[in-house]
Chains A and B, each alone.
Chain A
Amino acid sequence: MHPSMLTEEQIALKDAARKLALGEFRDRAARWDREGIYPEENHHRLAALGYLGMTIPEEFGGGGASLVDCYLVIEELAKVDFNTALIVHDQNVSPRIIATCGSEALKQAFLPRFAAGEIECAISWTEPEAGSDATAVTTSLRQDGNDYVLNGGKIFTTFGDRADYLLVYARFCDSKGARGIGTVLVERESPGVTVNILEQKMGARGCNECEIHFDDVRVPSENIVTEGLADNSSGFVRPLGVYNATRVGMGILALGVAEGAFDLARDYMKTRRQFGKALSEMQGLQWMMSDMKVQIEAARSLCYTALSLIDRGQPDPTLSSIAKVQATEMAQRVTHDAMQMFGGYGYFGSLPLERMVRDVRMLTITGGTTQIHKNGIARSLFTD
């Protein structure tokens, strides 16, 4: 969002997040990456300050913030610490699905606890054979007396090792495609749930990805968020309507990291001298910086326009895909080019640049690969 378009409240929100990020999170950001550990201290700070439940409606104890407001915060955090920004992002997704799609009883039972930071939730959707082909879910949920029984396996569930609840996409009956898929809240400590932390990855190393197996896990019927129905896809589509905002969310995370890297490069170029002058005086490098700035501002406009439309109740899923593709691809180029400005220094772990490159690499894959979003964009072009 262009600074002059922000309200005073939004400016204050952004400033507070920036102060928190610079004052507390920046100096420890390298640690989560190097040691591959969860930013526990940051989590507690964020929970205490109300950031983890900021989009939960006020009637359930949350902050009642708009998506634009929430992402203004996430963008500031991502400028210095991707792992911590991802926590705020993810913790604000599942409760919104429950708030939008769940029964009144479910909202009463869970939302105040999410808002207070007492419990956490992870979305468990992707399966080994259902990646880009996201409706190929085979994890099954079947009624058994008053309860349901869950069987199957998930992969790449982010935060699956620590979340108290998993929001699981499951198939409620013998069906194909989106029909019959619904969502259910599963307590991670239920008998029959096993969680394996997957081998480390390139970036986002403070946030574990997990493989999860469900072996005859009993789930109370009141934990169903959306029921999978044999004759229509509403159990899948309704949560997707909320989840689709995470496309833009990935774009905002990308934007934040790109801006963080860009700012570091700009500052460095003013002080680093080679050939008797500052790097900022070299035309080839000036043009690289101009190109980066153009791409960053394009991403900002796309992402916040898409988010504003969602806040207004007029979501445009295609625009959300466009924003995700542009911003996440932009961040790959911009973090690389920012790193390039540092020459040999950029490749080393004593500066955050190489970490930023590794962190944003995830974003063209997670939340729907660039290629899958291009399928969707193309569909919108050729479907009357």
Chain B
Amino acid sequence: MFKLDPELEDFRNEARKLAEREFAPRAAHWDEHEEFPAVNRDKLAELGYLGMFIPEEYGGSGAPVIQGTVFLEEMARVCFNTALVSQLYLNGPSRAISVLGSDEQKKRFLPDMAAGKKFIAIAISEPEAGSAVTDLRTTATKDGDGWVLNGNKCWSTGAHVADYALVFCRFGKASGAKGIGAFVVDLKKPGARIGHISLKMGGRGLTEAEIILENYKAGPEDVLVEGDPESSRSFALLMSSFGPERVGNAAMCVGLAQGAFEAAKSYSEIRHQFGRPIKEFQGLQWKIADMATQLHAARLMVYRAATNPAPNGFPDPMDATMAKLYANEMAQRVTNEALQIHGHNGYTREYPLERMVRDARGFALGGGTVEILRNTIAAMVYGHSFNQRRGG
């Protein structure tokens, strides 16, 4: 894809205008005060943006992945925290429920998600199961026609402001990917509570929290995908439903880097040193050229991943993984160079650059570290996965 449809460009302009008008003025506020941008969420819900991937019959607009990509790009360009909230609404649990849920579940959760009335966090990681996600130990034990859940989840983004969490659990005694399935857990019900809330480097408007499950009773209607101790199929299904999440993550990187790039370009035009605008210096011109090139490459990778689905309808895993890897590292380099171009001003909170650098840093850690993505890509390149448990 080398050019977006004119309707998509119109959509982008609308989203950009909204972000600049409504979200730019308070972008620093959410970071400074570590506050959830609830008003922005409400605004986006009211305008129908948060339900764009939810099927029309459940209150959404059933838009294609590329539209969400453009949307997340525009949000992240101006206010990263608003983009992060949007990403969870668009590509988080509502996507998994739309694809894998029962009719009853779709009716129960999706209209409220589209309307921004409810928020569902994702709970996968555990203290001892980070990159090695299939080591997770949270258990689902059969109890009558329902289940009892026990375990600790960490780094669940926004769990402390969420109504529900999509919790990955282990059914039965299997190890590895076998037996993993997922529930929608009501965080307000007995047996579920929020533990430690983390202070973090960036993305401070939507921080991470621990979820503690102690004999949480889940009904049969709360199972999204039942784990089968004999098979890893449920885990694979769940993971593929998070394919668009990688594309969204990469789109946010492109948007954030675009915002920093534009700030650096403008600053280099107005800042004078040695009697001329600093853009007149060749070294600086080359920096800008490198930034523009990397940004362009990342954007093309993201658009390809968003428009080139695999036969199962989800983004092609190679395209999506490479897009996330490249965009994650590009965003770190570009925001960091943009800060450097601002000199000491870039290091202060009077300019958004230091915040952008901090925000960008989380991408290489969340949603699969860049090291894990490299494992995944290598497995696809060789046509088989490598046993990461072997010695050496």
- Interface positions of A (Cβ within 8 A of B): 34, 126, 129, 131-133, 136, 156, 198-203, 209, 273-277, 281-285, 332, 336, 339-340, 343-350, 354, 357-358, 361-362, 364-366, 369-371, 374
With beta carbons under 8 angstroms apart, the residue of B201, B344, B371 that contacts A340 is B371
CB distance from A300 to the nearest CB of B (A): 24
B313 interface hit (Cβ, 8 Å): no
CB distance from B57 to the nearest CB of A (A): 37
B190 interface hit (Cβ, 8 Å): no
CB pair A276 B389 closer than 8 Å? yes
B347 interface hit (Cβ, 8 Å): yes
Docked Cα-Cα span, A369 to B345, in Å, equals 12
- For this complex, 7 residue pairs linking A to B, each with C-beta atoms less than 8 Å apart, are A201-B349, A202-B347, A275-B389, A282-B388, A344-B154, A344-B366, A349-B199
Docked Cα-Cα span, A200 to B350, in Å, equals 8
CB distance from B300 to the nearest CB of A (A): 26
Interface residues of B in 371-385 (CB under 8 A from A): 371, 374
- Residues of chain B lying within 8 A (CB to CB) of residue A339: 361
CB pair B283 A371 closer than 8 Å? yes
With beta carbons under 8 angstroms apart, the residue of A198, A357, A358, A364 that contacts B348 is A198
CB pair B365 A354 closer than 8 Å? no
Given A200-B348, A275-B389, A364-B340, A357 contacting B131 (CB threshold 8 A): no
CB pair A274 B125 closer than 8 Å? no
- Residues of chain B lying within 8 A (CB to CB) of residue A131: 273, 343-344
CB pair B273 A132 closer than 8 Å? yes
- Residues of chain A lying within 8 A (CB to CB) of residue B346: 365
Docked Cα-Cα span, A133 to B274, in Å, equals 6
Q: Lowest 4 A-B CB distances belong to which pairs?
A: A202-B354, A349-B199, A354-B201, A274-B132
CB distance from B381 to the nearest CB of A (A): 15
Docked Cα-Cα span, A350 to B155, in Å, equals 13
Given A201-B347, A340-B365, A357-B361, A277 contacting B273 (CB threshold 8 A): no
B107 interface hit (Cβ, 8 Å): no
Most chain B beta carbons < 10 A, residue from A343, A350, A357: A343
CB pair B132 A347 closer than 8 Å? no
CB pair A371 B132 closer than 8 Å? no
CB pair B365 A347 closer than 8 Å? yes
13 more A-B residue pairs beyond the given contacts A343-B131, A344-B155, A354-B201, with a C-beta to C-beta distance below 8 A: A34-B199, A198-B348, A202-B357, A209-B348, A274-B131, A275-B131, A336-B332, A340-B365, A346-B365, A347-B361, A350-B199, A357-B201, A365-B343
- Residues of chain A lying within 8 A (CB to CB) of residue B130: 274, 343-345
CB pair A350 B354 closer than 8 Å? no
Given A199-B348, A202-B354, A343 contacting B343 (CB threshold 8 A): no
With beta carbons under 8 angstroms apart, the residue of A129, A202, A284, A362 that contacts B272 is A129
CB distance from B141 to the nearest CB of A (A): 25
CB pair B200 A348 closer than 8 Å? yes
CB pair B365 A344 closer than 8 Å? yes
Q: How many residues of B contact A (CB 8 A)?
A: 48
B232 interface hit (Cβ, 8 Å): no
Considering the complex, give the chain A residue whose CB is closest to the CB of B129: A274
- Interface positions of B (Cβ within 8 A of A): 125, 128-132, 135, 154-155, 198-202, 208, 272-275, 283-284, 332, 336, 339-340, 343-344, 346-350, 354, 357-358, 361-362, 364-366, 369-371, 374, 388-389, 391-392
With beta carbons under 8 angstroms apart, the residue of B348, B362, B392 that contacts A347 is B362
- Residues of chain B lying within 8 A (CB to CB) of residue A202: 347-349, 354, 357-358
CB distance from B246 to the nearest CB of A (A): 17
- Residues of chain A lying within 8 A (CB to CB) of residue B365: 340, 343-344, 346-347
Docked Cα-Cα span, A104 to B148, in Å, equals 82
- Number of residue pairs A-B, CB distance < 8 angstroms: 126
- Residues of chain B lying within 8 A (CB to CB) of residue A198: 348, 350
Considering the complex, give the chain A residue whose CB is closest to the CB of B204: A349
CB pair B344 A365 closer than 8 Å? yes
CB distance from B241 to the nearest CB of A (A): 21
With beta carbons under 8 angstroms apart, the residue of B129, B273, B284, B389 that contacts A133 is B273
- Residues of chain A lying within 8 A (CB to CB) of residue B344: 126, 131, 156, 209, 365-366
With beta carbons under 8 angstroms apart, the residue of B340, B358, B366 that contacts A365 is B340
CB pair B135 A274 closer than 8 Å? yes
- Residues of chain B lying within 8 A (CB to CB) of residue A362: 347
Most chain A beta carbons < 10 A, residue from B128, B154, B273: B273
- Residues of chain A lying within 8 A (CB to CB) of residue B284: 371
Docked Cα-Cα span, A347 to B360, in Å, equals 11
Considering the complex, give the chain B residue whose CB is closest to the CB of A353: B201
Considering the complex, give the chain B residue whose CB is closest to the CB of A281: B391
Docked Cα-Cα span, A202 to B175, in Å, equals 43
Docked Cα-Cα span, A256 to B21, in Å, equals 44
Given A132-B273, A365-B343, A200 contacting B371 (CB threshold 8 A): no
CB distance from A369 to the nearest CB of B (A): 6
With beta carbons under 8 angstroms apart, the residue of B154, B198, B366 that contacts A349 is B198
Docked Cα-Cα span, A12 to B282, in Å, equals 48
With beta carbons under 8 angstroms apart, the residue of B208, B332, B370, B391 that contacts A277 is B391
Docked Cα-Cα span, A324 to B125, in Å, equals 40
Considering the complex, give the chain B residue whose CB is closest to the CB of A284: B371
CB pair A344 B349 closer than 8 Å? no
CB pair A361 B350 closer than 8 Å? no
CB pair B343 A374 closer than 8 Å? no
Docked Cα-Cα span, A369 to B283, in Å, equals 13
Docked Cα-Cα span, A77 to B362, in Å, equals 28
Most chain B beta carbons < 10 A, residue from A156, A283, A365: A365
Docked Cα-Cα span, A156 to B342, in Å, equals 14
- Residues of chain A lying within 8 A (CB to CB) of residue B336: 332, 361
CB pair A344 B125 closer than 8 Å? yes
Docked Cα-Cα span, A13 to B347, in Å, equals 33
CB pair A283 B392 closer than 8 Å? yes
- Residues of chain B lying within 8 A (CB to CB) of residue A274: 129-132, 135
Most chain A beta carbons < 10 A, residue from B344, B362, B369, B370: B344
CB distance from A379 to the nearest CB of B (A): 13
Considering the complex, give the chain A residue whose CB is closest to the CB of B131: A274
CB pair B388 A275 closer than 8 Å? yes
CB distance from B98 to the nearest CB of A (A): 27
CB distance from B62 to the nearest CB of A (A): 33
Docked Cα-Cα span, A89 to B342, in Å, equals 25
Docked Cα-Cα span, A131 to B358, in Å, equals 24
- Residues of chain B lying within 8 A (CB to CB) of residue A332: 336
- Residues of chain A lying within 8 A (CB to CB) of residue B357: 202, 361
CB pair B347 A365 closer than 8 Å? yes
CB distance from A342 to the nearest CB of B (A): 9
